[in-house]
Structure 1
Amino acid sequence: MPTIGDVTAPVLSRSDKGRIWWQIVLVLGLGLGQSAIYAIVSLIDYATRPGGLAGQTTTLNPTQSARQYIDLTYQLLDIAFSLAPVVLAGYFVWSSARPHLGRLGVVRPRASDPLWALGLALVIGAGGIGVYVLARQLGFAVGVDASGLAPYWWTVPVLLLSALRSGLQEELVVLGFLYDRLGSLGWNRWAIILTAALVRGSYHLYQGWGGFAGNLVMGLIFGWLYTRVKRVLPFVVAHFLIDAVVFVGYAWAATTFPSLFGVSGH
Protein backbone atom coordinates (compact mmCIF):
# COMPACT_ATOMS: atom_id res chain seq x y z
CA MET A 1 0.00 0.00 0.00
CA PRO A 2 1.46 3.44 -0.91
CA THR A 3 2.73 5.73 1.84
CA ILE A 4 0.49 8.72 2.51
CA GLY A 5 2.22 12.03 1.85
CA ASP A 6 5.89 12.97 2.20
CA VAL A 7 6.95 10.75 -0.69
CA THR A 8 7.96 11.51 -4.23
CA ALA A 9 4.71 11.41 -6.13
CA PRO A 10 4.72 10.21 -9.74
CA VAL A 11 4.88 12.96 -12.32
CA LEU A 12 1.34 13.56 -13.48
CA SER A 13 0.22 15.27 -16.64
CA ARG A 14 -2.08 18.25 -16.45
CA SER A 15 -4.98 16.09 -17.59
CA ASP A 16 -4.22 13.47 -14.90
CA LYS A 17 -4.21 16.15 -12.19
CA GLY A 18 -7.44 17.55 -13.56
CA ARG A 19 -9.01 14.10 -13.48
CA ILE A 20 -8.04 13.63 -9.81
CA TRP A 21 -9.44 17.03 -8.88
CA TRP A 22 -12.71 16.20 -10.62
CA GLN A 23 -12.86 12.92 -8.71
CA ILE A 24 -12.49 14.86 -5.45
CA VAL A 25 -15.13 17.41 -6.49
CA LEU A 26 -17.61 14.70 -7.51
CA VAL A 27 -17.22 12.58 -4.38
CA LEU A 28 -17.39 15.56 -2.01
CA GLY A 29 -20.04 17.36 -4.07
CA LEU A 30 -22.37 14.39 -3.85
CA GLY A 31 -21.94 13.97 -0.11
CA LEU A 32 -19.86 15.61 2.59
CA GLY A 33 -18.88 18.68 0.56
CA GLN A 34 -22.54 19.36 -0.12
CA SER A 35 -23.23 18.91 3.60
CA ALA A 36 -20.47 21.43 4.37
CA ILE A 37 -22.13 24.11 2.21
CA TYR A 38 -25.50 23.55 3.87
CA ALA A 39 -23.82 23.56 7.30
CA ILE A 40 -22.24 26.95 6.62
CA VAL A 41 -25.61 28.38 5.59
CA SER A 42 -27.19 26.84 8.71
CA LEU A 43 -24.53 28.44 10.91
CA ILE A 44 -25.25 31.86 9.41
CA ASP A 45 -28.98 31.28 9.83
CA TYR A 46 -28.69 30.23 13.50
CA ALA A 47 -26.21 32.96 14.40
CA THR A 48 -28.45 35.71 13.01
CA ARG A 49 -31.65 34.57 14.74
CA PRO A 50 -32.84 36.04 18.05
CA GLY A 51 -30.91 34.33 20.84
CA GLY A 52 -27.94 33.53 18.62
CA LEU A 53 -26.43 30.05 18.48
CA ALA A 54 -27.17 29.26 22.11
CA GLY A 55 -30.90 29.75 21.56
CA GLN A 56 -31.18 27.35 18.64
CA THR A 57 -31.47 23.57 18.36
CA THR A 58 -30.72 21.11 15.59
CA THR A 59 -31.99 17.57 15.18
CA LEU A 60 -30.02 14.58 13.97
CA ASN A 61 -31.93 11.61 12.54
CA PRO A 62 -35.21 13.55 12.34
CA THR A 63 -38.61 11.95 11.78
CA GLN A 64 -39.61 12.29 8.13
CA SER A 65 -43.21 11.12 8.36
CA ALA A 66 -45.86 10.74 11.05
CA ARG A 67 -46.72 7.33 9.53
CA GLN A 68 -44.51 4.70 11.11
CA TYR A 69 -43.60 2.55 8.12
CA ILE A 70 -43.36 5.44 5.69
CA ASP A 71 -40.90 7.02 8.14
CA LEU A 72 -38.95 3.74 8.31
CA THR A 73 -38.81 3.64 4.51
CA TYR A 74 -37.52 7.21 4.34
CA GLN A 75 -34.88 6.50 6.99
CA LEU A 76 -33.55 3.41 5.20
CA LEU A 77 -33.54 5.15 1.82
CA ASP A 78 -31.66 8.11 3.27
CA ILE A 79 -29.01 5.82 4.75
CA ALA A 80 -28.63 3.81 1.54
CA PHE A 81 -28.40 6.75 -0.86
CA SER A 82 -25.99 8.67 1.38
CA LEU A 83 -23.48 5.84 0.87
CA ALA A 84 -23.43 6.38 -2.91
CA PRO A 85 -20.40 8.75 -2.71
CA VAL A 86 -18.53 6.03 -0.79
CA VAL A 87 -19.20 3.57 -3.61
CA LEU A 88 -18.06 6.19 -6.14
CA ALA A 89 -14.86 6.79 -4.17
CA GLY A 90 -14.21 3.05 -4.17
CA TYR A 91 -14.78 2.92 -7.92
CA PHE A 92 -12.24 5.69 -8.55
CA VAL A 93 -9.44 3.97 -6.63
CA TRP A 94 -10.31 0.29 -7.26
CA SER A 95 -7.28 -1.86 -7.97
CA SER A 96 -7.30 -5.12 -9.90
CA ALA A 97 -4.76 -6.48 -7.43
CA ARG A 98 -5.59 -7.35 -3.84
CA PRO A 99 -6.46 -5.56 -1.63
CA HIS A 100 -8.81 -4.02 -4.17
CA LEU A 101 -9.58 -1.02 -1.95
CA GLY A 102 -6.14 -0.76 -0.40
CA ARG A 103 -5.89 2.88 -1.45
CA LEU A 104 -8.86 3.60 0.83
CA GLY A 105 -7.10 1.83 3.69
CA VAL A 106 -9.44 -1.17 3.41
CA VAL A 107 -6.98 -3.98 4.11
CA ARG A 108 -6.98 -7.23 6.06
CA PRO A 109 -8.02 -6.55 9.68
CA ARG A 110 -5.56 -7.13 12.50
CA ALA A 111 -6.22 -8.61 15.91
CA SER A 112 -5.36 -5.26 17.51
CA ASP A 113 -7.97 -3.32 15.51
CA PRO A 114 -10.84 -3.71 18.06
CA LEU A 115 -8.63 -2.35 20.87
CA TRP A 116 -7.52 0.53 18.64
CA ALA A 117 -11.14 1.32 17.84
CA LEU A 118 -12.31 1.15 21.46
CA GLY A 119 -9.45 3.34 22.66
CA LEU A 120 -10.13 5.92 19.96
CA ALA A 121 -13.85 5.92 20.74
CA LEU A 122 -13.24 6.49 24.44
CA VAL A 123 -10.71 9.30 23.95
CA ILE A 124 -12.48 11.10 21.11
CA GLY A 125 -15.94 10.54 22.58
CA ALA A 126 -15.02 11.93 25.99
CA GLY A 127 -13.17 14.84 24.41
CA GLY A 128 -16.08 15.60 22.12
CA ILE A 129 -18.52 15.73 25.03
CA GLY A 130 -16.16 18.07 26.86
CA VAL A 131 -15.89 20.42 23.88
CA TYR A 132 -19.68 20.39 23.43
CA VAL A 133 -20.32 21.17 27.11
CA LEU A 134 -17.82 24.03 27.07
CA ALA A 135 -19.18 25.43 23.80
CA ARG A 136 -22.74 25.33 25.16
CA GLN A 137 -21.68 27.17 28.30
CA LEU A 138 -19.95 29.84 26.21
CA GLY A 139 -22.86 30.15 23.79
CA PHE A 140 -20.88 28.86 20.79
CA ALA A 141 -22.97 25.75 20.12
CA VAL A 142 -26.59 24.99 19.36
CA GLY A 143 -28.60 22.45 21.34
CA VAL A 144 -28.31 19.05 19.66
CA ASP A 145 -31.17 16.56 19.56
CA ALA A 146 -29.33 13.40 18.50
CA SER A 147 -32.48 11.40 17.80
CA GLY A 148 -35.68 12.96 16.55
CA LEU A 149 -37.25 9.56 15.92
CA ALA A 150 -40.40 8.37 17.66
CA PRO A 151 -39.95 5.27 19.89
CA TYR A 152 -40.89 2.52 17.43
CA TRP A 153 -39.61 -1.07 17.50
CA TRP A 154 -37.18 -0.22 14.69
CA THR A 155 -35.82 3.02 16.18
CA VAL A 156 -32.68 1.61 17.80
CA PRO A 157 -31.72 -0.57 14.77
CA VAL A 158 -32.13 2.44 12.47
CA LEU A 159 -30.04 4.64 14.79
CA LEU A 160 -27.32 1.98 14.76
CA LEU A 161 -27.47 1.87 10.97
CA SER A 162 -27.23 5.65 10.92
CA ALA A 163 -24.13 5.46 13.13
CA LEU A 164 -22.61 2.86 10.80
CA ARG A 165 -23.42 5.08 7.82
CA SER A 166 -21.56 7.97 9.44
CA GLY A 167 -18.52 5.82 10.15
CA LEU A 168 -18.35 4.44 6.62
CA GLN A 169 -19.11 7.73 4.86
CA GLU A 170 -16.81 9.98 6.82
CA GLU A 171 -13.81 7.71 7.31
CA LEU A 172 -13.74 6.07 3.88
CA VAL A 173 -14.15 9.44 2.16
CA VAL A 174 -12.28 11.86 4.44
CA LEU A 175 -9.50 9.51 5.53
CA GLY A 176 -9.25 6.89 2.81
CA PHE A 177 -10.23 8.69 -0.39
CA LEU A 178 -9.16 12.26 0.31
CA TYR A 179 -5.77 11.23 1.71
CA ASP A 180 -5.07 9.03 -1.31
CA ARG A 181 -6.15 11.57 -3.91
CA LEU A 182 -4.32 14.52 -2.36
CA GLY A 183 -1.28 12.33 -1.83
CA SER A 184 -1.37 11.42 -5.52
CA LEU A 185 -1.24 15.15 -6.29
CA GLY A 186 1.99 15.42 -4.31
CA TRP A 187 0.65 17.12 -1.19
CA ASN A 188 2.74 16.64 1.93
CA ARG A 189 1.43 14.75 4.94
CA TRP A 190 0.55 17.71 7.17
CA ALA A 191 -1.13 19.64 4.37
CA ILE A 192 -3.39 16.61 3.82
CA ILE A 193 -4.07 16.14 7.54
CA LEU A 194 -5.01 19.79 8.04
CA THR A 195 -7.13 20.03 4.89
CA ALA A 196 -9.06 16.85 5.68
CA ALA A 197 -9.60 17.98 9.28
CA LEU A 198 -10.99 21.32 8.05
CA VAL A 199 -13.34 19.47 5.70
CA ARG A 200 -14.48 17.27 8.60
CA GLY A 201 -15.09 20.28 10.81
CA SER A 202 -16.89 22.24 8.09
CA TYR A 203 -19.76 19.82 7.59
CA HIS A 204 -20.42 19.91 11.35
CA LEU A 205 -20.80 23.71 11.45
CA TYR A 206 -24.59 23.30 11.68
CA GLN A 207 -23.88 22.36 15.32
CA GLY A 208 -22.14 25.69 15.90
CA TRP A 209 -18.48 26.46 16.54
CA GLY A 210 -18.30 23.73 19.16
CA GLY A 211 -19.15 21.08 16.59
CA PHE A 212 -16.57 22.53 14.22
CA ALA A 213 -13.81 22.64 16.84
CA GLY A 214 -14.50 19.16 18.22
CA ASN A 215 -14.50 17.55 14.80
CA LEU A 216 -11.46 19.54 13.68
CA VAL A 217 -9.49 18.09 16.60
CA MET A 218 -10.91 14.64 15.88
CA GLY A 219 -9.79 15.00 12.27
CA LEU A 220 -6.26 15.99 13.26
CA ILE A 221 -5.92 13.03 15.63
CA PHE A 222 -7.50 10.53 13.24
CA GLY A 223 -5.46 11.89 10.36
CA TRP A 224 -2.09 11.70 12.10
CA LEU A 225 -2.80 8.16 13.27
CA TYR A 226 -4.08 7.08 9.86
CA THR A 227 -0.88 8.18 8.15
CA ARG A 228 0.96 5.86 10.52
CA VAL A 229 -1.24 2.75 10.50
CA LYS A 230 -2.73 3.11 6.98
CA ARG A 231 -5.75 1.00 7.96
CA VAL A 232 -9.18 2.64 7.98
CA LEU A 233 -11.19 -0.07 9.79
CA PRO A 234 -10.28 1.02 13.36
CA PHE A 235 -11.44 4.55 12.56
CA VAL A 236 -14.71 3.35 11.01
CA VAL A 237 -15.45 1.21 14.08
CA ALA A 238 -14.45 4.00 16.50
CA HIS A 239 -16.69 6.49 14.68
CA PHE A 240 -19.56 3.97 14.73
CA LEU A 241 -19.16 3.40 18.48
CA ILE A 242 -19.12 7.14 19.24
CA ASP A 243 -22.24 7.87 17.17
CA ALA A 244 -24.06 4.74 18.37
CA VAL A 245 -23.64 5.79 22.01
CA VAL A 246 -24.72 9.35 21.24
CA PHE A 247 -27.73 8.40 19.09
CA VAL A 248 -29.07 5.59 21.27
CA GLY A 249 -28.19 7.17 24.62
CA TYR A 250 -29.47 10.61 23.75
CA ALA A 251 -33.01 10.21 25.12
CA TRP A 252 -31.69 9.28 28.57
CA ALA A 253 -29.00 11.99 28.55
CA ALA A 254 -31.34 14.76 27.41
CA THR A 255 -33.86 13.84 30.11
CA THR A 256 -31.20 13.63 32.81
CA PHE A 257 -29.31 16.79 31.76
CA PRO A 258 -31.89 18.96 29.94
CA SER A 259 -29.99 22.23 30.41
CA LEU A 260 -26.93 20.73 28.75
CA PHE A 261 -28.69 19.79 25.53
CA GLY A 262 -31.19 22.63 25.42
CA VAL A 263 -33.93 20.28 24.30
CA SER A 264 -36.20 17.77 25.99
CA GLY A 265 -35.80 14.03 25.79
CA HIS A 266 -38.22 11.78 23.94
Structure 2
Amino acid sequence: MLAPSSSLVVLPTTLPRRTLLTETVLVLGVSLGASAVWAVLSIIRKLTYEAPLSAQTTTMNSSVTPDRPWLDLAYQLAGIGLALVPVLLALHLLARDAGASVGSARGAARAVGFDLRRPGRDILHGLGLAAAIGLPGLAFYLAARELGLNTSIAAADLEAVWWAVPVLVLASVQNAVLEEVVMVGYLFTRWAQAGWSTATIILTSALIRGTYHVYQGFGGFVGNVVMGLVLGWAYTRTRRVMPLVVMHALVDIVAFVGYALLADRISWL
Protein backbone atom coordinates (compact mmCIF):
# COMPACT_ATOMS: atom_id res chain seq x y z
CA MET A 1 0.00 0.00 0.00
CA LEU A 2 1.26 3.45 -0.90
CA ALA A 3 2.06 5.82 1.95
CA PRO A 4 -0.17 8.90 1.80
CA SER A 5 1.05 12.48 2.06
CA SER A 6 1.85 13.34 5.65
CA SER A 7 -0.20 16.57 5.51
CA LEU A 8 -3.43 15.14 4.07
CA VAL A 9 -5.66 12.47 5.54
CA VAL A 10 -6.61 10.26 2.59
CA LEU A 11 -8.47 7.06 1.85
CA PRO A 12 -6.50 3.81 1.87
CA THR A 13 -5.55 2.38 -1.52
CA THR A 14 -3.94 -0.71 -2.97
CA LEU A 15 -3.54 0.85 -6.43
CA PRO A 16 -0.02 1.49 -7.74
CA ARG A 17 1.14 5.06 -8.27
CA ARG A 18 1.00 4.85 -12.06
CA THR A 19 -2.61 3.65 -11.97
CA LEU A 20 -3.59 6.46 -9.61
CA LEU A 21 -2.07 9.11 -11.85
CA THR A 22 -3.51 7.58 -15.02
CA GLU A 23 -6.94 7.59 -13.42
CA THR A 24 -6.69 11.29 -12.56
CA VAL A 25 -5.71 12.12 -16.14
CA LEU A 26 -8.72 10.21 -17.45
CA VAL A 27 -11.15 11.84 -15.01
CA LEU A 28 -9.80 15.26 -15.97
CA GLY A 29 -10.03 14.26 -19.62
CA VAL A 30 -13.79 13.85 -19.38
CA SER A 31 -14.31 16.91 -17.21
CA LEU A 32 -12.27 19.99 -16.31
CA GLY A 33 -9.14 18.90 -18.14
CA ALA A 34 -11.12 18.90 -21.37
CA SER A 35 -12.40 22.36 -20.44
CA ALA A 36 -8.78 23.47 -20.03
CA VAL A 37 -7.95 22.34 -23.58
CA TRP A 38 -10.91 24.23 -25.03
CA ALA A 39 -10.03 27.28 -22.91
CA VAL A 40 -6.47 27.36 -24.28
CA LEU A 41 -7.77 27.13 -27.85
CA SER A 42 -10.29 29.87 -27.08
CA ILE A 43 -7.65 32.31 -25.79
CA ILE A 44 -5.43 31.61 -28.81
CA ARG A 45 -8.38 32.42 -31.08
CA LYS A 46 -9.05 35.65 -29.19
CA LEU A 47 -5.39 36.71 -29.16
CA THR A 48 -5.13 36.19 -32.92
CA TYR A 49 -8.37 38.05 -33.65
CA GLU A 50 -8.17 41.54 -35.14
CA ALA A 51 -9.74 43.23 -32.09
CA PRO A 52 -7.69 43.55 -28.87
CA LEU A 53 -8.54 41.28 -25.98
CA SER A 54 -10.13 44.06 -23.93
CA ALA A 55 -12.53 44.87 -26.79
CA GLN A 56 -13.88 41.32 -26.91
CA THR A 57 -16.69 39.84 -24.84
CA THR A 58 -16.90 36.36 -23.36
CA THR A 59 -20.50 35.27 -22.97
CA MET A 60 -21.57 32.67 -20.41
CA ASN A 61 -24.89 30.95 -19.69
CA SER A 62 -26.35 31.65 -23.10
CA SER A 63 -29.73 30.66 -24.52
CA VAL A 64 -29.57 27.82 -27.03
CA THR A 65 -33.02 28.16 -28.58
CA PRO A 66 -34.24 31.63 -27.52
CA ASP A 67 -37.28 31.38 -29.79
CA ARG A 68 -38.48 28.19 -28.01
CA PRO A 69 -38.18 28.77 -24.25
CA TRP A 70 -39.42 25.30 -23.28
CA LEU A 71 -36.71 23.65 -25.38
CA ASP A 72 -34.12 26.13 -24.12
CA LEU A 73 -35.01 25.15 -20.54
CA ALA A 74 -34.53 21.49 -21.45
CA TYR A 75 -31.09 22.30 -22.91
CA GLN A 76 -30.07 24.24 -19.79
CA LEU A 77 -31.18 21.50 -17.37
CA ALA A 78 -29.56 18.76 -19.46
CA GLY A 79 -26.28 20.66 -19.50
CA ILE A 80 -26.36 21.13 -15.75
CA GLY A 81 -27.19 17.48 -15.09
CA LEU A 82 -24.63 16.01 -17.47
CA ALA A 83 -21.90 18.26 -16.07
CA LEU A 84 -22.31 16.52 -12.71
CA VAL A 85 -21.60 13.04 -14.07
CA PRO A 86 -17.80 13.42 -13.56
CA VAL A 87 -18.52 14.16 -9.88
CA LEU A 88 -20.36 10.84 -9.55
CA LEU A 89 -17.56 9.11 -11.46
CA ALA A 90 -14.87 10.52 -9.16
CA LEU A 91 -16.75 9.51 -6.02
CA HIS A 92 -17.47 6.07 -7.48
CA LEU A 93 -13.79 5.51 -8.19
CA LEU A 94 -12.79 6.58 -4.69
CA ALA A 95 -15.42 4.31 -3.15
CA ARG A 96 -14.55 1.32 -5.34
CA ASP A 97 -10.86 1.58 -4.50
CA ALA A 98 -11.34 2.20 -0.77
CA GLY A 99 -13.79 -0.68 -0.44
CA ALA A 100 -15.16 -1.32 3.01
CA SER A 101 -13.52 1.79 4.49
CA VAL A 102 -16.20 4.02 2.91
CA GLY A 103 -18.65 1.50 1.50
CA SER A 104 -20.22 3.63 -1.25
CA ALA A 105 -20.01 6.84 -3.24
CA ARG A 106 -21.88 8.44 -0.37
CA GLY A 107 -19.17 7.24 1.98
CA ALA A 108 -16.49 8.61 -0.34
CA ALA A 109 -18.28 11.97 -0.38
CA ARG A 110 -18.32 11.93 3.40
CA ALA A 111 -14.61 11.10 3.47
CA VAL A 112 -13.73 14.26 1.51
CA GLY A 113 -16.19 16.41 3.45
CA PHE A 114 -18.89 16.69 0.80
CA ASP A 115 -21.84 16.10 3.13
CA LEU A 116 -24.28 17.85 5.45
CA ARG A 117 -22.82 16.85 8.81
CA ARG A 118 -21.78 20.41 9.73
CA PRO A 119 -24.13 22.79 7.88
CA GLY A 120 -23.73 25.78 10.18
CA ARG A 121 -19.95 25.65 10.29
CA ASP A 122 -19.67 24.97 6.56
CA ILE A 123 -21.94 27.90 5.68
CA LEU A 124 -20.03 30.30 7.94
CA HIS A 125 -16.70 29.10 6.58
CA GLY A 126 -18.04 29.41 3.03
CA LEU A 127 -19.30 32.94 3.68
CA GLY A 128 -15.91 33.94 5.02
CA LEU A 129 -14.15 32.56 1.96
CA ALA A 130 -16.67 34.26 -0.34
CA ALA A 131 -16.02 37.62 1.30
CA ALA A 132 -12.25 37.11 1.11
CA ILE A 133 -12.33 36.07 -2.54
CA GLY A 134 -15.39 37.67 -4.13
CA LEU A 135 -14.79 41.42 -3.75
CA PRO A 136 -11.03 41.31 -4.44
CA GLY A 137 -11.81 39.06 -7.40
CA LEU A 138 -14.20 41.62 -8.88
CA ALA A 139 -11.64 44.40 -8.41
CA PHE A 140 -8.94 42.26 -10.04
CA TYR A 141 -11.22 41.49 -13.01
CA LEU A 142 -11.97 45.18 -13.58
CA ALA A 143 -8.28 46.08 -13.33
CA ALA A 144 -7.26 43.29 -15.73
CA ARG A 145 -9.87 44.42 -18.24
CA GLU A 146 -8.67 48.04 -18.06
CA LEU A 147 -5.08 46.88 -18.59
CA GLY A 148 -6.12 44.97 -21.70
CA LEU A 149 -5.41 41.57 -20.15
CA ASN A 150 -8.98 40.29 -20.04
CA THR A 151 -12.13 40.19 -22.10
CA SER A 152 -15.37 41.68 -20.83
CA ILE A 153 -17.47 38.97 -19.18
CA ALA A 154 -21.18 38.73 -19.94
CA ALA A 155 -21.99 36.33 -17.11
CA ALA A 156 -25.59 35.64 -18.16
CA ASP A 157 -27.24 35.84 -21.57
CA LEU A 158 -30.53 34.02 -21.09
CA GLU A 159 -33.80 35.34 -22.44
CA ALA A 160 -36.16 37.16 -20.05
CA VAL A 161 -38.13 34.06 -19.04
CA TRP A 162 -39.54 33.01 -15.67
CA TRP A 163 -36.97 30.24 -15.21
CA ALA A 164 -33.85 32.32 -15.95
CA VAL A 165 -32.90 33.07 -12.32
CA PRO A 166 -33.55 29.51 -11.03
CA VAL A 167 -31.44 28.10 -13.87
CA LEU A 168 -28.62 30.53 -13.13
CA VAL A 169 -28.71 29.46 -9.47
CA LEU A 170 -28.62 25.78 -10.48
CA ALA A 171 -25.74 26.48 -12.88
CA SER A 172 -23.85 28.18 -10.05
CA VAL A 173 -24.33 25.19 -7.75
CA GLN A 174 -23.32 22.81 -10.55
CA ASN A 175 -20.11 24.73 -11.18
CA ALA A 176 -19.31 24.71 -7.48
CA VAL A 177 -19.93 21.00 -6.99
CA LEU A 178 -18.06 19.95 -10.14
CA GLU A 179 -14.99 22.09 -9.55
CA GLU A 180 -14.57 21.61 -5.82
CA VAL A 181 -15.35 17.90 -5.62
CA VAL A 182 -13.17 17.01 -8.61
CA MET A 183 -10.39 19.60 -8.35
CA VAL A 184 -10.04 19.38 -4.57
CA GLY A 185 -11.79 16.41 -2.98
CA TYR A 186 -10.93 13.83 -5.62
CA LEU A 187 -7.59 15.08 -6.97
CA PHE A 188 -6.15 15.95 -3.56
CA THR A 189 -7.00 12.42 -2.40
CA ARG A 190 -5.56 10.66 -5.43
CA TRP A 191 -2.40 12.76 -5.68
CA ALA A 192 -1.73 12.36 -1.95
CA GLN A 193 -2.17 8.60 -2.37
CA ALA A 194 0.37 8.80 -5.20
CA GLY A 195 2.87 10.34 -2.79
CA TRP A 196 2.80 13.97 -3.96
CA SER A 197 3.63 16.66 -1.42
CA THR A 198 0.83 18.91 -0.21
CA ALA A 199 2.46 21.98 -1.80
CA THR A 200 2.70 20.23 -5.18
CA ILE A 201 -0.94 19.13 -4.98
CA ILE A 202 -2.22 22.61 -4.15
CA LEU A 203 -0.14 24.28 -6.88
CA THR A 204 -1.01 21.73 -9.60
CA SER A 205 -4.73 21.91 -8.85
CA ALA A 206 -4.62 25.72 -8.84
CA LEU A 207 -2.80 25.85 -12.19
CA ILE A 208 -5.36 23.54 -13.79
CA ARG A 209 -8.16 25.68 -12.32
CA GLY A 210 -6.59 28.77 -13.83
CA THR A 211 -6.11 27.10 -17.20
CA TYR A 212 -9.75 26.17 -17.70
CA HIS A 213 -10.66 29.80 -16.97
CA VAL A 214 -8.09 31.29 -19.36
CA TYR A 215 -10.79 31.64 -22.05
CA GLN A 216 -11.78 34.78 -20.12
CA GLY A 217 -8.29 36.26 -20.52
CA PHE A 218 -5.11 36.38 -18.48
CA GLY A 219 -6.88 38.06 -15.60
CA GLY A 220 -9.21 35.08 -15.39
CA PHE A 221 -6.22 32.74 -15.36
CA VAL A 222 -4.29 34.55 -12.61
CA GLY A 223 -7.37 35.23 -10.49
CA ASN A 224 -8.44 31.60 -10.53
CA VAL A 225 -4.93 30.35 -9.78
CA VAL A 226 -4.91 32.55 -6.68
CA MET A 227 -8.38 31.30 -5.74
CA GLY A 228 -7.22 27.72 -6.21
CA LEU A 229 -4.27 28.29 -3.90
CA VAL A 230 -6.53 29.75 -1.21
CA LEU A 231 -9.11 26.98 -1.49
CA GLY A 232 -6.46 24.27 -1.55
CA TRP A 233 -4.94 25.66 1.61
CA ALA A 234 -8.39 25.89 3.22
CA TYR A 235 -9.10 22.25 2.39
CA THR A 236 -5.87 21.07 3.99
CA ARG A 237 -6.96 22.86 7.17
CA THR A 238 -10.54 21.55 7.35
CA ARG A 239 -10.49 18.36 5.22
CA ARG A 240 -13.95 19.43 4.02
CA VAL A 241 -15.07 20.25 0.48
CA MET A 242 -18.49 21.59 1.49
CA PRO A 243 -17.30 25.07 2.61
CA LEU A 244 -15.59 25.45 -0.76
CA VAL A 245 -18.80 24.47 -2.54
CA VAL A 246 -20.75 27.03 -0.49
CA MET A 247 -18.20 29.75 -1.31
CA HIS A 248 -18.06 28.93 -5.02
CA ALA A 249 -21.85 28.73 -5.35
CA LEU A 250 -22.33 32.08 -3.60
CA VAL A 251 -19.74 33.85 -5.76
CA ASP A 252 -21.24 32.46 -8.97
CA ILE A 253 -24.83 33.22 -7.92
CA VAL A 254 -23.89 36.84 -7.24
CA ALA A 255 -22.02 37.03 -10.56
CA PHE A 256 -24.64 35.31 -12.74
CA VAL A 257 -27.85 36.59 -11.20
CA GLY A 258 -26.36 40.00 -10.45
CA TYR A 259 -25.28 40.41 -14.06
CA ALA A 260 -28.68 39.29 -15.37
CA LEU A 261 -30.47 41.82 -13.16
CA LEU A 262 -28.06 44.76 -13.32
CA ALA A 263 -26.13 44.64 -16.60
CA ASP A 264 -28.52 47.09 -18.29
CA ARG A 265 -28.30 49.50 -15.35
CA ILE A 266 -24.58 49.53 -14.47
CA SER A 267 -22.27 50.56 -17.32
CA TRP A 268 -19.01 49.20 -15.88
CA LEU A 269 -20.31 45.62 -15.85
TM-score (norm 1): 0.90
Which residue matches 2:78?
77
SS at match of 1:153: coil
Does residue 174 of the first structure (1) align with residue 183 of the second (2)? yes
Once the two structures are superposed, residues 96-142 of structure 1 have per-residue CA deviations (whole angstroms, 9 ceiling, x without a partner) of 34544244332532532211111111111111101101101100000
Q: Letter of the 1:148 partner, please give it.
A: D
Once the two structures are superposed, residues 190-218 of structure 1 have per-residue CA deviations (whole angstroms, 9 ceiling, x without a partner) of 11110000011000001000111111110
SS at match of 1:141: coil
SS at match of 1:111: helix
Moved more, 169-178 or 51-60: 51-60
Does residue 106 of the first structure (1) align with residue 107 of the second (2)? no
SS at match of 2:25: helix
The alignment of Structure 1 onto Structure 2 pairs a total of residues equal to 258
Contact 1:58-1:143 within 8 A present in 2 as well: yes
Which residue matches 2:43?
43
**TM-fit CA distance, 1:256:** 3.2
Distance 2:151 2:224 in 1: 15
Moved more, 135-144 or 100-109: 100-109
Distance 1:241 1:10 in 2: 29
Q: Match for 2:258 among 240, 249, 255?
A: 249
TM-score (norm 2): 0.89
Distance 1:242 1:113 in 2: 15
Which residue matches 1:224?
233
SS at match of 1:256: coil
Distance 1:75 1:64 in 2: 8
Gaps of 5+ in 1: 262-266
Which residue matches 2:52?
52
Distance 1:201 1:119 in 2: 22
Which residue matches 2:213?
204
Does residue 240 of the first structure (1) align with residue 249 of the second (2)? yes
Contact 2:129-2:247 within 8 A present in 1 as well: yes
Percentage of identical aligned residues:
41
Q: 1:246–1:8: structure 2 CA closer, same or farther, 3 Å change rule?
A: closer
Q: Letter of the 2:63 partner, please give it.
A: T
Distance 1:125 1:85 in 2: 26
Once the two structures are superposed, residues 141-189 of structure 1 have per-residue CA deviations (whole angstroms, 9 ceiling, x without a partner) of 0011111100111111100000000010000001101101110111111
Distance 2:225 2:171 in 1: 21
Q: 1:64–1:231: structure 2 CA closer, same or farther, 3 Å change rule?
A: same
Which residue matches 2:124?
115
CA RMSD, aligned part only? 2.3
